Amino acid sequence: MTPDDLAIPAVLPAVLSELQAGFGADLRGIWLHGSAVSGGLRPGSDIDLLVVTGRPMSPVLRRRLSDALMRLSAPYPAPPGGARCLEMLVFRADRLAMGRHPAEAEFVYGEWLRAAFEAGETPAVTADPEFTLVLAQARGQARALLGPPLEQVLPQVPAADIRRAMGDALPALMAGLQGDARNCLLTLARMWRTARCGDFVPKDVAAAWAMEHLPAPMAAVLGAARDGYLAGRAGTGPDPDDSVRHAADHLHARVVASL
């Protein structure tokens, strides 16, 4: 691990212990993915975990795991230099083997769900094109914390499914511009990079690449979003004024044209 990863070990043993106790012999593996392993972990980055189980989760296990993660995860926004927010996706091995699109997660945890879980909601099975993209990226980059390399458990995600997933995810992404402009702009840049080059890179790398292909005013907007991300600034980035909307619309059109 790099110096940026120093906050990770403090929470991972407790998370792994909860998963092993909950899933027992049905636990096929636990993998660290996302920015923590792609070289892009930033002060405000979440810790992304991917879990594969051999059986469906009971309502009791869903509640137990969500309660444990709410104890272990830092509420958003995480304090600088302190505990980090956790994101976790649990997949069933049999569903992964089917190669369905959109991919179906047995369980999802993220800080945007905390309020619902605190109100008593139980995490449910969820299908989302974003999960297809997560799996495709994680397969080549994830680091095993327990179990074999992920490529031994997860079939190759076809390029056609990756492109389809990006297209299917675009409406929800654009709808989030008002409340999460920074993430929307950076995710659009990363989608464009993936659609054009076929790889998955950190958000700041994708933004730098996209800025070289954008008109100067739009590159400046994307650059501001990238700088906020790199600095780990709390919040969702710039308010979506005309310049931000124009940049988002332009990036959206570039992604669609590249699919």
Region label for 143, one of left (φ > 0), alpha (ψ between -120 and 50) or beta (otherwise):
beta
CB 89 within 8 A of CB 32: no
CATH code for position 90: 3.30.460.10
Residues 79 and 191 in one domain: no
47 closest CA partner among 93, 16, 91: 16
pLDDT at residue 145 above 80? yes
Q: Which of 142, 157, 172 is the last residue of a domain?
A: 157
User: In total, how many domains does the chain have?
Assistant: 2
Residues 48 and 136 in one domain: yes
Residues 11 and 77 in one domain: yes
Q: How confident is the model at residue 221 (pLDDT cuts 50, 70, 90)?
A: very high
CB 36 within 8 A of CB 45: yes
Mean pLDDT to the nearest integer, 213-237: 86
Q: What is the mean pLDDT of the chain?
A: 91
Residues 116 and 242 in one domain: no
Q: List the catalytic residue out of 18, 87, 104, 130.
A: 87
Residues 224 and 237 in one domain: yes
pLDDT at 229: 85
**Residue 87 appears among annotated catalytic residues:** yes
Residues 185 and 101 in one domain: no
What's the Cα-to-Cα distance from 61 to each of 17, 32, 54, 253, rounded to whole Å? 14, 21, 14, 43
Distance CA 206, CA 7 (A): 25
Kindly state the tokens that stand for 84. 């980090």
Region label for 193, one of left (φ > 0), alpha (ψ between -120 and 50) or beta (otherwise):
alpha
Q: How confident is the model at residue 59 (pLDDT cuts 50, 70, 90)?
A: very high
pLDDT at residue 79 above 90? no
pLDDT at residue 103 above 70? yes
Work out whether strand 104-105 and strand 47-53 pair parallel, antiparallel, or are unpaired: unpaired
pLDDT at 5: 42
Q: How confident is the model at residue 45 (pLDDT cuts 50, 70, 90)?
A: confident
Least confident segment among 12-26, 39-53, 190-204: 39-53
Residues 119 and 16 in one domain: yes
> How many Cβ atoms from other residues are within 10 Å of residue 21's Cβ?
13
Dihedral angle sign, alpha carbons of residues 2, 105, 197, 179: negative
pLDDT at 1: 38
Higher pLDDT, 240 or 191: 191
Identify the three-state secondary structure at position 86. strand
CA atoms within 13 A on the CB side of 60: 3
Residue at 244: amino acid letter = V
Tell me the whole-structure pTM to 2 decimals.
0.90
Residues 141 and 185 in one domain: no
pLDDT at 170: 97
Higher pLDDT, 174 or 8: 174
pLDDT at residue 3 above 50? no
173 closest CA partner among 134, 130, 131, 135: 130
Residues 125 and 196 in one domain: no
**pLDDT tens-digit map of 238-250:** 677 899 999 999 9
Distance CA 156, CA 159 (A): 9
Find the domain containing 200 and state its range.
161-258
Identify the three-state secondary structure at position 23. helix
Q: How confident is the model at residue 8 (pLDDT cuts 50, 70, 90)?
A: low
Residues 104 and 165 in one domain: no
> How many Cβ atoms from other residues are within 10 Å of residue 179's Cβ?
10
Q: Which of 127, 157, 187 is the last residue of a domain?
A: 157
Distance CA 97, CA 21 (A): 25
Residues 175 and 129 in one domain: no
DSSP E strands, the chain? 27-33, 47-53, 86-92, 104-105, 107-109, 126-127, 143-146
pLDDT at 4: 42
pLDDT at residue 140 above 50? yes
Residues 9 and 83 in one domain: yes
Q: Which of 157, 172, 189 is the last residue of a domain?
A: 157
CB 103 within 8 A of CB 128: yes
Least confident segment among 52-61, 72-81, 152-161, 203-212: 72-81
pLDDT at 108: 98
pLDDT at 6: 39
